[in-house]
Amino acid sequence: MSSIIEERTQRTEWFLHDRFGMFIHWGLYAIPARGEWVRSTERIRVTDYQKFFDEFDPALYDPRKWARIAREAGMKYAVMTAKHHDGFCLFDSALTDYKATNTKARRDLVREYIDAFRAEGLKVGLYYSLLDWHHEDYPMFGDRQHPMRDNPDFKDKALTQDFSRYVDYMYGQVKELLSNYGKLDVMWFDFSYNEMTGEKWGATKLVEMIRSLQPWIVIDNRLGGNIKSPTPEIYSGDFASPEQIIPPEGILNEAGESLPWEACITLNNHWGYCSSDHDYKSPEQVIRALVECVSKNGNLLLNVGPTAKGEIPEESVKILQEVGTWMKLNSDGIYSCGNAGLAKPEWGRYTRNGKYFYAHIYDRGIGPINFRGLGGKIRSARLVSDMTEIKVTKPWNAGEYAGDAFITLPGARLPDEMDTVIRLELEGEMQPFGS
């Protein structure tokens, strides 16, 4: 095993325990309220976007409230956008005037976020976009993403640009974030594309600097490289970061072994606040997405997009409150859990923590519930929400299924229609999920 992989294994131990985090996309784009890509999709010039900088005044921003919402939802860590693609910085960078402290806010919004989330016992991370549509030396005309990519007025701009100046700027800002805000737990870069990957960002030097300042920080895989390789690049990351999808088998390396990974998922259809988007996922969808991630050895990073005033939308808060109610009773089947090594059952999912297997039952079905292949192997079964004993029986009509175990739940409905969790303790010594 390479030293990079050994160190990755040590750094991600807490990450694989905590399983559930809050993503926060917030910036000037909350004012037009048409999503975080509004500058790119609507081809907005810097001069026209400036009005949002001039207006930005999040008077209701209370990160302590955000932190309580996250903690009460059962989240263990958070990641907030220090700088998104539009180049606006929520932190007090000495390298730019394009920052929150120069708006009507007059506040270092990142510092307040970090202090508030730490005070609630949550780990803290920062998102930093590798793209920058505000910086004069970032590629413009012809770039795949830039708002001015097809504007002929910017065709000759490349003649005066020096991309190395942008890389130095990016490097300096990352150093500020790692030097000025105490211990960080996650550094979340976004994103590489086309030739803009790996050493185009000076990725080796960047990660060496990060490790020199905060050796235990966990970094995502969006600088580039091949995280699945047995000899990954130093900048290939500590965890994979699939977006808006939960991989069918989780994320595996080239040898078929599980890698640390985290699915980042929106609550509606946008990362940044979009006032017209009310297509929210239900608490049931969120809970089952979390369970699916954990059952495949992954995490869920669930996004909220605060308003221009600085509040998490009430629709998001209500969903998170319901998720939190379920987590208070059932989180034993989430934290420190992973793949159970059992085939996916027809009624839901399994997760596992050491000797305990957790049956996440979504479908009551008809008759007794079948635990396929576990006949004679279950020492005890408990309803996780209140630890009620569940009897493991051999129904009169299951004589042909000698290798299976069964339970019979009373009534036609599940105790919890979103996800009824039953803890199974099996006979004999069991290996933990990662073995």
262 and 357 assigned to the same domain: no
1, pLDDT greater than 80: no
| Residue 434: count of CB within 10 angstroms of its CB | 12
Residue 220 in domain: yes
pLDDT, tens only, 103-137: 999 999 999 999 999 999 999 999 999 999 999 99
Residue 339 in domain: no
247 and 381 assigned to the same domain: no
Predicted local confidence at residue 435, as pLDDT: 37
Contacts of 51 (CB under 8 A, 6+ apart): none
Predicted local confidence at residue 307, as pLDDT: 98
378, pLDDT greater than 80: yes
Q: How far apart are CA 46 and CA 133, in angstroms?
A: 8
71, pLDDT greater than 60: yes
Predicted local confidence at residue 432, as pLDDT: 46
For every residue of 174-227, DSSP letters joined together read HHHHHHHSS--SEEEEE--BTTBSGGGGTHHHHHHHHHHH-TT-EEBSTT-S-T
pTM for the full model? 0.97
286 and 415 assigned to the same domain: no
Sign of the Cα torsion 377, 380, 384, 385 reads positive
Q: What is the CATH number of the domain that holds 402?
A: 2.60.40.1180
Sheet of 348-353, strand order: 348-353, 356-361, 420-426, 378-383, 388-389
- Strand stretches in 340-412, DSSP E: 348-353, 356-361, 369-371, 378-383, 388-389, 392-393, 405-407
Residue 90 in domain: yes
270 and 363 assigned to the same domain: no
Residue 297 in domain: yes
Q: Which residues pair with 348 in a beta bridge?
A: 361
Pairing label, strands 218-219, 186-190:
parallel
Q: How far apart are CA 106 and CA 103, in angstroms?
A: 6
Predicted local confidence at residue 433, as pLDDT: 45
Q: Collapsing DSSP states into helix, strand and coil, what is residue 425?
A: strand
297 and 371 assigned to the same domain: no
Residue 431 in domain: no
CA distances from 23 to 217, 234, 264 (A): 17, 25, 8
Q: What is the CATH number of the domain that holds 321?
A: 3.20.20.80
358 and 265 assigned to the same domain: no
Q: How far apart are CA 225 and CA 207, in angstroms?
A: 12
Q: Of the candidates 28, 65, 35, which has an alpha carbon nearest to the alpha carbon of residue 311?
A: 65
Exposed, middle or buried: residue 323 (CB in 10 Å: 0-12, 13-18, 19+)?
A: buried
Predicted local confidence at residue 381, as pLDDT: 98
Domain with 372 in it: 348-426
Contacts of 235 (CB under 8 A, 6+ apart): 198, 203, 204, 206, 207, 223, 224, 225
On average, the pLDDT of the chain sits at: 96
Last residue of a domain, one of 290, 306, 333: 333
Predicted local confidence at residue 80, as pLDDT: 99
Predicted local confidence at residue 434, as pLDDT: 44
CA distances from 311 to 20, 59, 64, 314 (A): 21, 9, 11, 8
Residue 432 in domain: no
Burial annotation 333-365 (CB, 10 A radius, 16+ → b, else e): bbbbbbbbebeebebbbbbbbeebbbbbbbebe
Report CA dihedral (73, 252, 236, 294) to the nearest 10 degrees: 10
240, pLDDT greater than 70: yes
What is the H or E stretch that residue 315 is in?
helix 314-330
* Mean per-residue pLDDT, 33-61: 98
Predicted local confidence at residue 429, as pLDDT: 52
109 and 161 assigned to the same domain: yes
Sign of the Cα torsion 382, 383, 385, 386 reads negative
Residue 378 in domain: yes
235 and 380 assigned to the same domain: no
pLDDT, tens only, 153-198: 999 999 999 999 999 999 999 999 999 999 999 999 999 999 999 9
pLDDT-derived band at 221 (thresholds 50, 70, 90) equals: very high
Q: How far apart are CA 402 and CA 404, in angstroms?
A: 6
300 and 414 assigned to the same domain: no
Asked whether the beta carbons of 223 and 203 are under 8 A apart, the reply is: yes
Predicted local confidence at residue 93, as pLDDT: 98
Last residue of a domain, one of 309, 333, 357: 333
pLDDT, tens only, 80-102: 999 999 999 999 999 999 999 99
Three-state SS sequence of 301-313 = EEEECCCCCCCCC
In the chain, the number of structural domains is: 2
Last residue of a domain, one of 271, 305, 333: 333
| Residue 191: count of CB within 10 angstroms of its CB | 18
225 and 362 assigned to the same domain: no
Residue 190 in domain: yes
198 and 74 assigned to the same domain: yes
56 and 192 assigned to the same domain: yes
**Helix H segments across 331-421?**
none
